[in-house]
Amino acid sequence: MLLDGLVFRLQHHIRDDWDRGDDCFLFYKTRSLVEQYARFWTRRRDFHARRILELGLWDAGSMVFWSEYFQPEKHVGIDIQRKQNSRYFRAYLASRGLADKMKTYWGTDQRDAQALRAIVTREFSDPLDLIIDDASHMYDLTKKSFETLFPLLRSGGLYVIEDWAWGHWREFQRPDHPWSKEVPLTRFIVELIEATGSSESGSAQGRLIESVTTHQGFAVVERGSFGGPELREFQLDGFISRRPDAGLPADAATLRPSWMRSLVERWLNRG
């Protein structure tokens, strides 16, 4: 993919069939995902992201992609890998004079709440506009960083979670896949929807989550007006209200056909 003279090597997995040298960004996005984003942002032309935090970089190609699109005042990225900025990325920063506007923090774990807060405090003087999580895709880690960072978004800010649907992709459902025993990230998306529904309409305090929008490759959580950075010990579960007799299975994100049949039968036989 070419963008303003920059070369992005799109791929979904590590592959060895690239023959165009190292002058490129290794960009772990498929064409389909890029097109989904294009459709989404076309509908949100009024959204401006001046302050962006990104989790999961690989070699920072995604940072460049989003910075080229949004032209933010500050863009910070973290990654658990202990590495350095690539030569191509360093050349990009130097050629456009962006060394002070784009910062990378390698060797940073997304579950480290103290480190995340310290980075945001150091790099940003105002609430964040956009957070993009393309890091572990694991349920516990994704939820942990969300609970740390979501309160740091401004009202109306967006929190993007990529690849939330991996539990529904056939390649991840093989018994020998490394993630075969992991909790699907779908569970977290369901919890976000539950929290959205638990916010009472017309509340004087506002809503924590205004909306959750799902696409095949990513989900977008819009911050409501409730609370702010003072939600330091924020836990999503505390904002979810459930009926004690809801009849949901323990893992609502993994609905079995037999459970669905039982639910349909109960509905047909009600009364």
CA distance 110 to 104: 14
Mean pLDDT along residues 235-240: 93
Domain definitions of the chain by residue range: 33-268
Q: Which residues of 223-237 are buried (b: 16+ CB within 10 A; e: fewer)?
A: bbebbeeebeebebe
What pTM did the predictor assign? 0.86
Token duo for residue 149: 């960072």
Per-residue pLDDT, 256 = 45
The predicted pLDDT at position 162 comes to 96
Q: pLDDT over 90 for what percent of the chain?
A: 64
pLDDT in tens, 171-202: 899 999 999 999 999 999 999 999 999 987 55
79, pLDDT greater than 50: yes
Q: What is the CATH code for 33-268?
A: 3.40.50.150
Is residue 134 within 8 Å of 27, Cβ to Cβ? Answer: no
Q: Are strands 74-79 and 51-55 parallel, antiparallel or unpaired?
A: parallel
Name the residue among 53, 64, 58 with its Cα closest to residue 7.
64
The yes-or-no verdict on residue 78 having pLDDT over 60 is yes
Instruction: Tell me: pLDDT of 258 over 70.
Output: no
